[in-house]
């Protein structure tokens, strides 16, 4: 089993866990997993693969939620235009 398959197995096993408890415990677990995913994305050497994996992750998080879609779009605009145009106002 190669490294990629081992990572997928770990993620699948973690998905099956039920997180009981307060929202702050769930939020801490979300941040832990998000940090792990970001580190894995940074380790991908192919720019195209890193780009497509990032977009798939955003799509998975946003899903069909129109509010999250709007927030993600606004965040990407802020990131893109704020650095290029000094006159850009969020």
> What are the domain boundaries of the chain?
3-63
Q: Which of 83, 40, 34, 41 is nearest to 61 (CA)?
A: 34
pLDDT for res 68 = 92
pTM for the predicted model, two decimal places: 0.59
Q: What is the pLDDT of residue 8?
A: 65
Mean predicted lDDT score pLDDT of the chain: 80
Over range 56-71, report the average pLDDT: 90
Length of the chain: 90
pLDDT of 85 > 90? The answer is no
Which residues, at least 6 apart from 72, have a Cβ–Cβ distance to it below 8 Å?
A: 58, 61, 62
pLDDT of residue 60: 87
- Give dist(CA 11, CA 45) in Å, integer: 21
Detail the DSSP E strand segments found in 6-88.
none
Distance of CA 90 to the CA centre of its chain: 22
């Amino acid at each position: 089993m190669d490294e990629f398959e081992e990572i997928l197995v770990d993620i699948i096993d973690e998905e099956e866990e039920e997180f009981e408890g307060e929202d702050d415990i769930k939020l801490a677990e979300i941040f832990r997993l998000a940090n792990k995913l970001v580190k894995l994305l940074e380790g991908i050497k192919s720019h195209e693969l890193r780009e497509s994996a990032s977009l798939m992750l955003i799509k998975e998080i946003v899903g069909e939620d129109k509010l999250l879609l709007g927030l993600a779009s606004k965040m990407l605009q802020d990131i893109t235009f704020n650095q290029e145009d000094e006159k850009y106002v969020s």
